[in-house]
Amino acid sequence: MVIIMTTSAFFDTLTSIVTDLSRDLPAERRYRNLLEALLKLFPCDAAALLKLEGKQLRPLAFEGLSPDTLGRRFEVAEHPRLARVLHARDPIRFEAGSTLPDPYDGLVDNQDLQLHVHDCMGVSLYIDDLPWGVLTLDAMDPGSFDSIDPVALRTFIRLTEATVKAADRMDALSAKAERQQLVTRTLMDEKDAESEMIGSSAIMTQLKQEISIVAQSHLSVLVQGETGVGKELVARQIHYQSQRNQGPLVQINCAALPENLAESELFGHIKGAFSGAGADRAGKFEIADGGTLFLDEIGELPLNIQAKLLRALQSGEIQRVGRDQPLQVDVRIVAATNRNLQQEVSAGRFRADLYHRLSVYPLLVPPLRERQQDVLLLAAYLLESNQRRLGAQGLRLAHDAKQLLLNYPWPGNVRELGHLLSRAALKAITSQGRDNRIIIIAANHLGLDASDWDEIATPGLPPQISTESQDNQYNGASLKQATELFQRQLIEATLSQHSGNQAAAARQLGIHRSNFYRLLQRHAIKPS
């Protein structure tokens, strides 16, 4: 056997893996121990364990690859090497001269981004005769795997399958103990995959735990957070992890509802109920029966519609416009807003009873600046999506680009990150050629000028408002009057800070531009 270690050391390493099978370890630690043993046993520079989820392979653990690898999702159909490995029951080796693109080109840690992997091997992993995932081995030197003993490799593969099976069983038992009858979605369609929440920071881990807890209940959930943080993803996760996941998930944007048609959109109408009602039509509540209704931007709903929504939530009954007979519906409500609804209630713009009905279980989605360590994971995930959308391969971030992404304050949150990377990817592809195996996104492709960052306003931090004679201003005023006065002063100060730029002012205040414009009209404020 040609392996660079003594027989004793070889069996000691295997024994450590077997010992782990009987230990109560977190899956991450179990997989990490497995890969550390792999690098001791076989002459490779990098290794990765990827699990099959629907049509994608998701990295669970890796050694020797760039940290952002964890955020990538490899579409099997778009990676011919991974596809060959997955569909073969025996180990597959790709020689240095293979023309098939390597999914890890440019991802080997501490190597030049242009460096290609030279020797690569992969093995499929099967659990109970079903494909579970793949184990990959990569080496920088051609011929590195000439020395691998096939018997030793097969032994390690069997131990790997036993390890992942043990980890899966531990996870299943843990889930059953916590939630009793949790339905696990083993086959994800494209829509589900796009709804994955990426992030390993402590604050995101806590949010995911909260989602898992509330999803199994029937409680109404209020999702709060700045624009662009991913509130819709939270709503989707609540639905997919709930017992209603076989029912519909219906979304309605309350900010886009014309006030005269809002009731019809929510509850439906009958033919002839109003001008233009040429046929019976079901509303969103009816369509969502048995599932989840996601009310996005709930803070923008007019007061008169809020009252009708409250009645539907209290009784579970709705009435189509023009019909006297009520309909009973079974709908779980998830609402989202970038407003502080408690402040809106105090200002008289949102019903207190509706707020309490919606916020039975509130969730706060953190802004990206509070989970900066997730930026590169998100970037890797988004770049994989751009590869598919733009028909390119091997989109990689240069070191200087990574540093810019880590240092940028992200006032537009994840949405801004996604748009920025799409632009940068297109620029890099245009300059380097779509057919290149590795396309490097450098700092200049991002279009971020560090000299301008100090001018970027952080949401939630308002400009200074003069306090002169405030006692006199508010003396004798009701809470509503004082709130209105302060709101007007804040809007004027924010507009002044941005030289009358309404879009910038709205962005700093964390509200949609159209809603900001309505506030200007209500307070009779004319931007200079």
Closest C-alpha among 308, 309, 219, 295 to residue 250: 295
Please give the CATH topology (third level) of the domain spanning 370-455.
Answer: Helicase, Ruva Protein; domain 3 (1.10.8)
For residues 413 and 466, give the distance between their C-alpha atoms in angstroms, rounded to a whole number: 30
* CATH class (in words) of the domain with range 200-364: alpha beta
Say what the pLDDT of residue 186 is.
28
Lowest mean pLDDT among 53-62, 118-127, 513-522: 513-522
Q: What is the signed CA dihedral for 218, 197, 229, 515, rounded to 10 degrees? A: -50
Cα distances (angstroms) measured from residue 456 to each of 377, 448, 514: 24, 12, 21
Query: Which SS3 state, helix, strand or coil, does residue 157 take?
Result: helix
**CB of 267 within 8 A of CB of 319?**
yes
Take residue 129 and report the two structure tokens written for it: 């005769």
Average pLDDT over residues 261-290: 84
Q: Which CATH superfamily is domain 7-177 in?
A: GAF domain (3.30.450.40)
For residues 34 and 217, give the distance between their C-alpha atoms in angstroms, rounded to a whole number: 37
513 vs 359, more confident: 359
Residue 146 has pLDDT above 80, yes or no: yes
Res. 192 pLDDT band, cuts 50 70 90:
very low
Q: Report DSSP state, residue 476.
A: T
511 vs 271, more confident: 271
**CB of 302 within 8 A of CB of 320?**
no
Q: Report DSSP state, residue 90.
A: S
Q: Residue-wise over 167-180: b if at least 16 C-beta within 10 A, else e?
A: beebeeeeeeeeee
Q: Report DSSP state, residue 65.
A: B
Closest C-alpha among 58, 117, 126 to residue 86: 126
CB atoms within 10 A of CB 503: 10
Q: Report DSSP state, residue 148.
A: -
Closest C-alpha among 333, 359, 331, 330 to residue 344: 359
Say what the pLDDT of residue 479 is.
72
DSSP string covering 199-213? --SHHHHHHHHHHHH
Say what the pLDDT of residue 233 is.
94
Task: State pLDDT tens for residues 386-439.
Answer: 888 888 878 999 999 999 999 999 999 999 999 999 999 999 999 988 888 889
For residues 328 and 319, give the distance between their C-alpha atoms in angstroms, rounded to a whole number: 9
Residue 518 has pLDDT above 60, yes or no: yes
Query: Which stretches of 261-366 are assigned E, i.e. beta strand?
Result: 268-269, 281-282, 292-296, 317-318, 327-328, 332-337, 361-364
Residue 99 has pLDDT above 90, yes or no: no
Closest C-alpha among 130, 152, 171, 204 to residue 31: 171
SS3 content of the chain, % helix, strand, coil (to 5): 50, 15, 35
The H or E element spanning position 422 is helix 413-432
Beta-carbon contacts of residue 438 (< 8 Å; ≥ 6 apart) = 105, 106, 113, 114, 116, 394, 396
For residues 78 and 89, give the distance between their C-alpha atoms in angstroms, rounded to a whole number: 20
Say what the pLDDT of residue 298 is.
94
Domain ranges of the chain: 7-177, 200-364, 370-455, 470-522
Widest distance between CA atoms in the chain: 91
Q: What percent of the chain has pLDDT over 90?
A: 33
196 vs 344, more confident: 344
- For domain 470-522, the question of CATH label 1.10.10 is answered with yes
Mean pLDDT rounded to a whole number for the chain:
81
Closest C-alpha among 447, 402, 398, 399 to residue 423: 447
Amino acid at 177: A
The H or E element spanning position 51 is strand 46-53
What is the value of pTM for the model shown?
Answer: 0.69
Task: State pLDDT tens for residues 436-481.
Answer: 888 999 999 998 866 555 445 444 444 555 444 445 566 666 777 7
